[in-house]
Chain A
Amino acid sequence: MKIVLPGDEILDRPIHMENTFVENNKTYTAVLAMLHDDKLIPLEGLWYPKVGDKVVGRVEEDKFSIYEIDLNGPYSGLLISKFVKSPLLVGDIIEATVKEIDRYNTIILYKSRKLYGGKLISVKPSKIPRIIGRNNTMLKQLIEGTKCNISVGANGYIWIKGNNIHLAIKAITKIAKEAHTGGLTNRISDMLGVKNGETTTNS
């Protein structure tokens, strides 16, 4: 494993993939990343929307037949009003799924659900996979350890609701900062007082 920086060659052949670029038939990383064998694991990176991504967003504008959704990036999400169960207001927070991306980079959303109350925080999208964890393990223990409702968007927005919101934010911040390190699941479970997916009693 080594850390590679923008402009470092990672392959001596051209492979087009996210967070890289090709020049003179070689592949270079475009972001700060870890390179393990031939796998590039971005340490910092933006969200490149894909159909099926689950996102969290905030209603930015109500244009009568469509809602424009702030998705923490340069491109807005669009929700068609008639497919939304109950009307939304500007400022409402929703989770939804990416249905398609049009040629203007507008992100068409569907399967939306309004998230009532709570707080919206934002982390770098490259940290999201670690916040969810393999088979949802990290997210599950976050929810169990804090008793919060948490909805995580691939776009880097996270919605949290519950009494332990500060603990949840602290844990999420720690995961984001240490996303690239080993043993993190255990450190977070220690922090939250969770063992093997079960809450331990403090004595």
Chain B
Amino acid sequence: MEKPQLIVNGLRLDGRKPDELRPIKIETDIIKNASGSAYMEWGNNKVIAAVYGPKEALPKHTGDPEKAIIKCVYSMTPFSSLEEHGRSGPNRRAIEISKVTKEVFENIILVENFPRSEIDIFIEILQADGGTRAAGITAAAVALATSGIPMRDIPYAVSAGRVGDTVIIDLNKLEDNYSDADMPVAIAPRNNEILLMQMDGGLTREQFKKALEMIKNAGKVITKIQREAIKKPYEDLINKYGAKYE
């Protein structure tokens, strides 16, 4: 395929400015069996995240006497992309994403509160349009926040990348395919601690700085959307009936 011109007159093919996020919608508590769950639409991405536990670590020898172990499964449905039917079972990409996602939440969850236990995080990509690992982490963070599992912060994730000389935020699938760099990052916003960072392509040091700056600015927007989604069901009821303080 011929490489399309991704930026025309300063705008991207979907009409966005370089530093503009796609629209994000999050709804919580969509899987009743889970301790916490969220459904997210991020542009054309559709993602479900569910959290189970803490429960007894199984098999028992996998338990850690000092903390909870986190298990994470990121997976894409076989019908989630425009290409051919996806193969079932985790591929190498999914295994790597599951690993780095798990590491984000090992940082965030107060794992030391639950020795020998296990917390499971499931991320299912129903429809994919670029940036699914970032969407998955962002959705899983919301699911966790509604679960009652204690955590230090509500992390967000987003990708920055480069098209020619332009650094852009939140690459969709087409941009991802033809971009000159892609850098997914997850951050705990309270202290701006970087929890995940991957990159491929090419970035000069200046472009790298710019990408990180753009990610932090986008993070303010994403954090706000996450917080509103988490609070909404509770606030709606408070607005209706008033709050009870005991």
Contact A180 B56 (CB under 8 A): no
Contact A30 B56 (CB under 8 A): no
A6 vs B148: C-alpha distance in the bound complex, in angstroms?
Answer: 9
Contact A180 B237 (CB under 8 A): yes
Interface flag for A198 (CB, 8 Å): no
Contact A181 B237 (CB under 8 A): yes
- B-contacting residues, A177-203, CB 8 Å: 177-184, 187
Contact B145 A178 (CB under 8 A): no
**Beta-carbon nearest neighbor of B144 in chain A:** A6
Contact B56 A74 (CB under 8 A): yes
Q: Which residues of B contact A181 (CB under 8 A)?
A: 237-238, 240-244
A75 vs B53: C-alpha distance in the bound complex, in angstroms?
Answer: 11
Interface flag for A28 (CB, 8 Å): yes
Interface flag for B186 (CB, 8 Å): no
Interface flag for B55 (CB, 8 Å): yes
Contact B234 A43 (CB under 8 A): yes
A38 vs B68: C-alpha distance in the bound complex, in angstroms?
Answer: 30
Contact B241 A182 (CB under 8 A): yes
A32 contacts which of B110, B230, B241, B243 (Cβ < 8 Å)?
B230
Contact A182 B110 (CB under 8 A): no
Q: Which residues of A contact B234 (CB under 8 A)?
A: 3, 32, 43, 180
A86 vs B39: C-alpha distance in the bound complex, in angstroms?
Answer: 48
Stretch of B85-93, B94-102, B131-139, B151-159 lying at the A interface:
B151-159
Contact count A vs B, C-beta below 8 Å? 112
- At the interface, is chain A mostly helix, strand, loop or mixed? loop
**Beta-carbon nearest neighbor of B68 in chain A:** A74
Contact B153 A6 (CB under 8 A): yes
B226-246 interface mask toward A, CB cutoff 8 Å, 1 = contact, 0 = none?
010011001101101111111
**Residues A74 and B243 in contact in the complex (CB < 8 Å), given A178-B237, A180-B234, A180-B237:** no
A105 contacts which of B53, B55, B115, B154 (Cβ < 8 Å)?
B115
A182 vs B237: C-alpha distance in the bound complex, in angstroms?
Answer: 9
**Beta-carbon nearest neighbor of A184 in chain B:** B244
Interface flag for A151 (CB, 8 Å): no
**Which of A39, A44, A105, A177: most chain B CB closer than 10 A?**
A44
Contact B245 A30 (CB under 8 A): no
Contact A46 B152 (CB under 8 A): no
A104 vs B241: C-alpha distance in the bound complex, in angstroms?
Answer: 43
Q: Within the complex, what minimum Cβ distance (angstroms) separates A132 from chain B? A: 11
**Which of B114, B234, B241: most chain A CB closer than 10 A?**
B234
A21 vs B113: C-alpha distance in the bound complex, in angstroms?
Answer: 11
10 tightest A-B CB contacts, nearest first: A74-B117, A30-B150, A44-B148, A7-B153, A181-B241, A182-B242, A45-B148, A36-B245, A74-B54, A6-B151
Apart from A105-B115, A180-B243, list 12 A-B contacts with CB within 8 A.
A5-B230, A7-B151, A7-B190, A23-B152, A31-B148, A32-B146, A44-B36, A74-B56, A129-B246, A180-B234, A180-B237, A184-B241
11 residue pairs of the A-B complex, CB under 8 angstroms, read A3-B231, A6-B145, A7-B152, A21-B152, A32-B146, A32-B234, A43-B234, A130-B244, A181-B242, A184-B244, A187-B241
